[in-house]
Amino acid sequence: MSIPDPRRRATGIATIFVAACLLCVADGVAATSVYKWTDASGITHLSSAKPPAGIQYERVTLATTKPASKRSGSTGSSPTRVASAATTPEQASRRNEMVTSLQNRECVVALEAIDRMGKGGQAVDPAEFRRLQQTADQNCSKDPVQRGQQEEMAARLRVAKGDTCVDARNKLADMLAPGRKPTREQLKVQQEFIEAHCTAPVR
């Protein structure tokens, strides 16, 4: 049995899972919001400020007394508000960290998809390539050092999605199948290989 190739998914992957994980660190902080929307070109935007008028958006809320929620809104209608005190410096800092983390993920996924397209040896859809490039331009850091780190993460993501790692995960699944009796050492070697080479830096 083979595992479906995850390389077919590019930047269309939803960021809700990542947002939910980041919200877990918000205990003790009053409600603050981060806005996410996609423009007419398909480019993902993340900001602590509302998008321009007329743009539909999602709002991820950090809250202490209620679970994190995602709401949508557009011109003429605003999302349900969570009562909160004025934003404190700590809240603003956490919100900015969340925006940065989400932007970093969008950047890394876009860079990996661009690299895969460039080295795939297949015809490239110009519109999709342009969308990915614009997503990278919108979300990747302008700082050379940080941009280098993002490119390194994209390279690691490419390896984690590659055939070698897909085969390695399939092999481990086969070893763990009912009726199979691999040795402890064989399992250890396979698991260590996957952990060392096939762990994606972003999800």
- Domain residue limits, the chain: 6-197
Q: Using the predicted structure, report yes or no on whether residue 67 has a pLDDT greater than 60.
A: no
Q: Using the predicted structure, report yes or no on whether residue 2 has a pLDDT greater than 70.
A: no
* pLDDT-based confidence at residue 157 (cuts at 50, 70, 90): very high
Higher pLDDT, 167 or 38: 167
> What is the 3-class SS of the chain, one letter each residue?
CCCCCHHHCCCCCCCHHHHHHHHHHHCCCCCEEEEEEECCCCCEEEECCCCCCCCCEEEEEECCCCCCCEEEEECCECCCCCCCCCCCHHHHHHHHHHHHHHHHHHHHHHHHHHHHHHHCCCCCCHHHHHHHHHHHHHHCCCCHHHHHHHHHHHHHHHHHHCHHHHHHHHHHHHHCCCCCCCCHHHHHHHHHHHHHHCCCCCC
* pLDDT-based confidence at residue 176 (cuts at 50, 70, 90): very high
Residue 1 confidence (pLDDT): 40
Residue 77 confidence (pLDDT): 42
pLDDT tens-digit profile of 7-18? 344 334 344 444
**pTM of this prediction?**
0.57
Q: Using the predicted structure, report yes or no on whether residue 99 has a pLDDT greater than 80.
A: yes
Match 């762990």 to its residue by tokens: 199
Q: Using the predicted structure, report yes or no on whether residue 46 has a pLDDT greater than 50.
A: yes
Q: Using the predicted structure, report yes or no on whether residue 92 has a pLDDT greater than 50.
A: yes
Q: Average pLDDT in the 122-127 region?
A: 85
